[in-house]
A and B are shown apart, each in its own frame.
Chain A
Amino acid sequence: MLEIKNVHAGYGKLKILRGINLSVPKGKIIALLGGNGTGKSTLLKTISGLLPLMEGSIEFDGQILDKKKPHEIVKAGLVQVTQSKESYPAMTVEENLMVGSYVRNDRHGVQQDLEKIYEFFPILKTRRKTLSGTLSGGEVQMLVIGRGLMANPKMLMLDEPSAALAPKVVLEIFSNIYKISQTGVTILIVEQNVRMALLLAEYGYIIRDGVIMLEGKSDNLIHDSSVRESFLGGTVADTSRELSA
């Protein structure tokens, strides 16, 4: 569904990504993993059209996205959900969700999807008239995922949904992401929480210094010695121990 070929991109003259190749098949969950400052978010911004492409090409659902503007890419059905805590704090929960449906003109479908999202995340329904600035971190994460879904996307790109959240909340969010993928939405998940992401995804890419260092099936990556060395250090191991408890 999404084909990224030899993508070079960055900020101004500063090149961050140096030849990324990545492919996300339809209906699957794919993980992009890496630490801080490795180019994960830069890649997402480039795919979404917020950053210009210096070289290479991006194809989504049969369309070339290279020169497309961000709003055209959303209309094509590719929606990015940025890192948590980026809701519209001065708007209510429901207004936030409605912003997500901006590209759509089917009033009836929007209303149906709103109900569907409230079913996914019941907490959002109970708080739908409150300002989203007062939500907890986990609730905001649910809200921004819900907002992304309101665009009725073919594919969702999630930027670090586990960031700054308690392990229990992370588990809840991830199980919801799995449910979303079961409804037919293709998902690219970008994470630092390598173990959790690999449990969810079928296939993973590991990015470092703007290049894909390693890729493979999740099972293989989890047991790869270099992945263990680079990522599965103290904190991640602790997290997973806590989760299995």
Chain B
Amino acid sequence: MEFDFNSLFAFIIFGVTIGVVYGMVALGISLIYSGLDIVHFAHGEIYMFGAFFGLVLAKDMSIPYPAALIGAMILAGLMGMLIERVFYRRLTRSGGGYTVAGMGMIICGFGMSVALMNVAFLIWGADAEPFSIDLGMPLQIADIYIPQSYLLTAVVSFALMGLLHFFLKYTKIGLAVRAVAQNKDIAYLMGINVPVFISLIFGLACALAAAAGVLIGPMQSVQVEMGYLMLMKAFAAAVVGGFGSLPGALLGGILVGIFENLGAAYISPSHKDIYAFLLLILVLMIRPSGLFGIEAKVKA
């Protein structure tokens, strides 16, 4: 049988598309890790809430999809800032990372994950909700048909990440965000109001997760348990890229996406969710600090 390059190409495109979404959630996890020195285990649930916010805005309130995307990002960002202010701040104030307080933070994150899932269950129930938007006919390139939702996802994700990069690299506030992420004590001494910036970092990370949720929604469906697997895969993406490295998170996400799609296509589709972790194990065996591990050491 002749090898079908067209379908290989299609699988890679689909992999990249889903991969940038993993990358966006991973980017949030990495941002929070650099900014607060904690691993945020409830990030999958923020993603799930983001998807529901998008669904409610687009379907129940009939707001156009792009506006719903932005609305969901803002809502999730505010929700994240509220969670950080009310629940996490007392824990992070006494230190994160490998300290005893950091351990408490991990447990608190898991607790928040369960709590958020139950809140979502109470509001929206356990059923999977279809999130259908009409984007028109699939796009045809050579012999490959790419659904518009995939194209939209790729474009929006890359645009958001480009925007984030520009913000961090070329604006005064972005510079201050990086300063806080790298060294809080010095940031304080340079006159930066560190707690406000930690809030901002958390809000940004949650807004990214929400964007991922609203983009994934039309491809799959929206349900309360969708966060768990996303967290695991984003986590794998962040570790593959090198924890704490922002470009690493994006690249890790894309790698995970491609690997997963190729595995599903050529090995076995029923084990689709295993491949991300297989890649994770492989990368950790060869480069324990991740592909961008050196940058991870100096953070962000």
Contacts and interface: CB of A to CB of B under 8 A. Distances in A.
Interface of A: 48-50, 69-71, 74-75, 79-82, 86, 88-91, 95, 98-100, 102-103, 133, 147, 151
A102 B191 contact: yes
Nearest to B169: A95
Which of B176, B179, B182, B191 has most A Cβ within 10 Å? B191
Rank and list the top 10 A-B pairs by shortest CB-CB distance, nearest first. Answer: A74-B191, A103-B191, A70-B188, A90-B298, A71-B191, A71-B193, A99-B179, A88-B182, A80-B189, A89-B298
Interface of B: 172, 175-176, 178-179, 182-183, 185-194, 295, 298-300
A81 B189 CA distance: 8
A133 B298 contact: yes
Contacts of B179: 88, 91, 99, 102
Contacts of B299: 90
A70 B179 CA distance: 15
Which of A86, A88, A147 has most B Cβ within 10 Å? A88
Contact of A69 (B175, B182, B187, B193): B193
B191 A75 contact: yes
Q: Secondary structure of the B side of the interface?
A: helix
Given A99-B175, A99-B176, A133-B298, A90 B189 contact: no
A102 B190 contact: yes
B189 A79 contact: yes
A100 B192 CA distance: 9
A90 B175 contact: no
A88 B193 contact: no
B175 A86 contact: no
10 contacts: A50-B185, A70-B189, A70-B191, A74-B190, A79-B189, A79-B190, A82-B186, A88-B182, A88-B183, A95-B178
A97 to B, nearest CB: 10
Which of B186, B192, B193, B299 has most A Cβ within 10 Å? B186
A50 B189 contact: yes
Which of B176, B190, B192, B295 has most A Cβ within 10 Å? B190
Given A82-B186, A86-B186, A89-B298, A102 B192 contact: yes
A95 B177 CA distance: 12
B182 A91 contact: yes
Nearest to B172: A102
A95 B175 contact: yes
A58 B242 CA distance: 45
B190 A82 contact: no
